[in-house]
Structure 1
């Protein structure tokens, strides 16, 4: 029996194989995230078609989340929000959105959301292109934390993107911001995903750290509806094992808590 808390797994070079993807699904993957900061449209097309083919064979649904890059500015510490950008939706995002609509992705995740207007703008762009994808607002800026209530109300779901958020607020505040955002999402009955750094100890190891398992369990106890794997399944050495351990942790947490959350599908 699978957990009620859903697992979002990012697809990349380590998981574009049919056998690997099938095993990830069998181990507990519920949704597939495609990160458009990396890769080509052809690679993403192949991944999406492969996921849907496997899901069809198994008689299940695996919705696709298209995660738009947004205005990123690279520096020595990685990708940060480009403060020089006048919009959170870039020309690259528009091109990627055309592709996503053509592939009928179920969700579009909007990076660096700053206001409900950003969500409304993306919704208009999706409708204009003939799409019907739902929108996941990524909370990863201080301005989004401050205006979280209105942003979450305008979205279909919310992602707590702890990686980029850690570039904007002190790291020691992230657990409390996470708890606050989950509470707001629960209040408005919007599915909430806790993302980034959940099982990083398994990037090069076939078993997780105690801290990673605790992190996953805490997300469940705080009423998160989904947890997300990023590089752990996109480029890590043990994508199947990572999903499996996360699923075990979710089930164990749910045994000790009455599930009251929502599903993304």
Structure 2
């Protein structure tokens, strides 16, 4: 799902150890990158530890494990994957764990960052991989793939990054996507900075999980399915829906389905 939507990625480098044995991916580069985090997907697991995924246009459902669902292959760089993306996921999970213990969201801006990051990833995945040859004069010395990977890993937590990959279209493409993620994230976090997240639970109809929340983000509808039984949404949106008589699982699922691009995950 999604992997075949993009031009082939560059496989991580290989090297030889002291005994002459081939070592694949010595820098432990993340190849399979999840558009929706595995921890989030696991909320929709069935008893057989698989997800039931439906095509929006209909047809037989697809069964996938969270590990192999909504995955792209090395679309953005390691700095985005291991730095900004990982910290956003980890911070969100702490807020959800806290909510389940205490019954409230302690820090709404962290949930906002996660909601925006999901939209940023879905937005970038919908685009083609920007893998184009440069029209600029190539530099006199182009770093090797191994050196570029070393730089990429070493700068994961750096605020300012030095890019030496001019002349390497794969490295440049990953950097461009990483920059697009960052730009979307910074802008969205500012636009939604006043969002205060509150829960809405149901004991009846369960919530679906769309493959994209970009439409929800763009339409000013900050609502996030956390699990089949729980949605968190902006308190102003909750009040608005309540006043209009639309604060129901049916209406929220309708909006989630409209936001999905090709797939959605159904509850067990």
Report the TM-score when normalising by structure 2. 0.26
Larger gyration radius, structure 1 or structure 2: 2
